[in-house]
Amino acid sequence: MTTDEISGKWLLEGVYPDLAVMLRVQQVLFSGRTAYQHVEVVESRLFGRSLVLDGKTQSTERDEHIYHQSLVQPAMLLHPNPVSVFIGGGGEGGTLREALSHRSVQRAVMLDLDREVVELCRQHLPNHHQGSFDDPRVELLHQDARGYLENTGEQFDVMIMDLVDPLEGGTAYLLYTQEYYNLVRSRLKPGGILVTQSGPAGLLSHQECFTTIYRTLSSIFAHSTPYQVHVPAFQTLWGFTLASDSPLQSLSAAAVDGLIAQRLGHELAFYDGETHLSMFNLPKFLRSSIAAETRVNRDDSPVFMT
């Protein structure tokens, strides 16, 4: 591309301290600040509509199903009968959509601190939420997830943390600490499963927070399992971590496909048995770094993503 071809509106996003990417934007649907963060909803030919918070792409129409199915479906399928679900964050509604796809779910409590972001997503990202906010099984609250969990006695089968990254000065860095995960553990029913998005997992960025989140969870729960998937809009591999005090099964491809057919009754655009096996087979650099990681996130010494 020549200089003459760089015309029109472009979204410039920093990926690493020495690397940024540019996306040509066809339309800016919203740009402004809420009480908590800077928000942009933009539309591009390549990715469709995208949600951008504080300069970081959160999801796009083109590939949000990769992220949301990867975050939600393994935990839901590993649980024998997920009836109650807690979602921390998840303003676009994609995580809620995937959780509600399970016919066993009777109640889903979703907490997203930023009411304005959720309303913007309701308006501008209908292909993300697909009406999930209006499902009668949903209780949607706009308050701090940690405060809510400290004050409720309710317990859940599956707890899903679809949070913004642990950035210094951000809204969610205290939702990745030992203290928070101990609180989450106390709100899981026997056999319950936690899953959290765990930040970038690529060669150049996996030590920012991915290995530390896994190390922190493994210091709290009897069983924890990391996994990863490539999300094109994020420009890298993306990490997730499962945790439970009950053993986490190693499912075969056939078992995953059978559970999807039984519990959802339809195929998923991205996630299936073969994909599941790929996600949980980590490359050597990730296995080596996880084994060598000693840092643990604590309230008084959090590890921030750069």
Q: Does the active-site annotation cover 162?
A: yes
Residue 51 and residue 44 in contact, taking contact as beta carbons nearer than 8 Å: no
> How buried is residue 112: exposed, middle or buried, by Cβ count under 10 Å (0-12/13-18/19+)?
buried
Among 112, 114, 162, 165, the one annotated catalytic: 162
Nearest-angstrom CA–CA distance, 305 and 109: 27
Sheet containing strand 138-141, strands side by side = 138-141, 107-111, 84-89, 156-162, 188-200, 236-244, 223-231
Residue 213 and residue 201 in contact, taking contact as beta carbons nearer than 8 Å: no
Neighbours of 106 (CB within 10 A): 11
| Residue numbers annotated as active site | 162
